[in-house]
Amino acid sequence: MSGAATPDPYSDPLVFGQRLQILRTRRGLTREQLGGLAGRSGSWVKGVETGRLKTPKLDVVLRLAEILRVRDLRELTGDQSLQIDLFAGPGHRRLPEVKAAVDAFPLGREVEAPPAAHLGARLARAWAARHRAPDHREVVGAMLPGLIRDAQALVRQAETVKRRRAAHAVLAEVYSLAQFFVAYQPDAALLWRVVERGLVAAQESEDPHVIGLAAWLAAQAQRDSGPSGFEAADEVTHQTLAYLAPLLPDANDDVLAIAGALTFETGYTAARRGETGTAWRHWDQARDVAARLPAGYFHPMTSFSRAIMGAHAVTVAVELHQGGESVRQATAADADVIPSRPRRARHQIEEARGYHLDGQPDVALATLARAHEAAPETTRYNGYAKRIVLEEAEGKSPVRRRRASELAVKLGLLAA
């Protein structure tokens, strides 16, 4: 390696501080920004990077890994015994089949497109399975290859402009479902192909609801890529909300709900930045949108509703690292009213983060256990859940270590 080359934290025998500096630089963060997000100072980050300060304890290492969106903990620590995927799941057994369907480039009419109504009914069943099945990735992963193939055929074989737009709407929705499956799996390139194709198909559909859904998912992908993606996430949400704004006075519930979901996304990204006032202001705006929806309504893809605003409040407080406020919001929210199993589990994971921030690790572990019971695959793929379990598995309390270790086995972090 030449002296001018950038060291590679994946292969070179670098010390922790060097790895931290390389990964921080790659994410586009200054020392002050990383320190602020980690509850430390810029000078502390400099001290660790230069070796003046020793490698921090596991809880701080896991927090840094979370901020930097480190997928494999070895990237940061260099410890080859710590082969733990934090923000990528284990790779579902259905992933190769879904990837093959996405990567295929059919041009002819080998596949006869099914009637649009038939394909729409299959897609609705897939969304229902995504919300109701505890093993939702398994069920959806089995359905996706056929849905992708048939939706592509529907677009190719559409004979009028109107039918082609409708077919693109179906294809965009299939890609949206595929993004839920592909997210947090160990194939980032596949995720971005799905995101981009979903956006293109949505634009071709000219359907406001479909466009909003694709934008909502694209913003999540940008934000979850780390701090360097925050600006892109904001751009997607702001542009889409500007497009939807003139339509909202007469919009149906689904379009109104997707606008509310996008409004909350702006607050979520602001919370990730640590912008307290902006985050809660957008949460208030999203709540105002939710108040216009029927009491029992839940958006069929995003779960946006009146009832979900309590869960969203927990997320904002947790992302702002407000432990006491997180617990207060968790106490006020009711997970049982969320009909979607993966969304309920996600909310319970956010509650666990809040309890952990507030110094209540036993409650956090119990809440994670409930999340795992609601949707095991959601919990297994969630980096925040894994971070809490790993930290407590190394804690001082023998009873808590045992409970955390048992949960770690269920999440696939430790061998049985």
pLDDT above 70 (res 85): no
Task: Please report, in angstroms and rounded to a whole number, the separation of the first and last CA atoms in the chain.
Answer: 41
Give residue 87's pLDDT band: very low, low, confident or very high (50, 70, 90).
Answer: low
Angle at 296 between CA 381 and CA 284, to 5 degrees: 70
pLDDT above 70 (res 80): no
Token couple for 215: 């934008």
The phi, psi pair for 77, rounded to 5°, reads: -90, -30
Are 32 and 39 in contact by the 8 Å Cβ rule? The answer is: no
Token couple for 248: 């909202």
Which residues touch 405 (CB under 8 Å, ≥6 apart)?
393, 414
Helix ranges, 15-82 (H): 16-26, 31-37, 42-50, 58-67, 74-77
Give the bridge partners for 85, in sequence order.
72
Q: How far is CA 391 from CA 156, 223, 401, 413, in A?
A: 51, 25, 9, 12
CA gap 88, 84 in Å, rounded: 9
| Top-ranked range on mean pLDDT: pick from 28-32, 92-96, 379-383, 386-390 | 92-96
Amino acid 387: pLDDT: 87
Domain 16-77, what architecture? Orthogonal Bundle (1.10)
Average pLDDT, the chain: 89
Alpha-carbon dihedral sign for residues 365, 266, 195, 24: negative
Reported as a single tens digit per residue, the pLDDT across 233-271 is 999 999 999 999 999 999 999 999 999 999 999 999 999
Cβ atoms within 10 Å, residue 202? 28
Token couple for 116: 């649009």
As a 3-state breakdown, the chain gives helix, strand, coil percent values, each rounded to 5, of: 70, 0, 30
201: left (phi over 0), alpha (psi -120 to 50) or beta: alpha
Sequence length of the chain is: 416
pLDDT above 50 (res 11): no
Global pTM value:
0.81
Give residue 67's pLDDT band: very low, low, confident or very high (50, 70, 90).
Answer: confident
Q: How far is CA 117 from CA 129, 163, 167, 174, 300, in A?
A: 18, 12, 11, 14, 18
Are 67 and 225 in contact by the 8 Å Cβ rule? The answer is: no
- For the residues 277-294, what does the mean pLDDT come to? 98
Reported as a single tens digit per residue, the pLDDT across 134-152 is 889 999 999 999 999 999 9
Pick the closest to residue 192 from 99, 55, 78 (CA basis): 99
pLDDT above 70 (res 412): yes
Reported as a single tens digit per residue, the pLDDT across 200-212 is 999 999 999 999 9
Pick the closest to residue 259 from 317, 224, 219, 230 (CA basis): 219
DSSP conformation letters of 349-412:
HHHHHHHHHTT-HHHHHHHHHHHHHH-HHHHHT-HHHHHHHHHHHTSS-HHHHHHHHHHHHHTT
DSSP designation for 185: S
Give residue 10's pLDDT band: very low, low, confident or very high (50, 70, 90).
Answer: very low
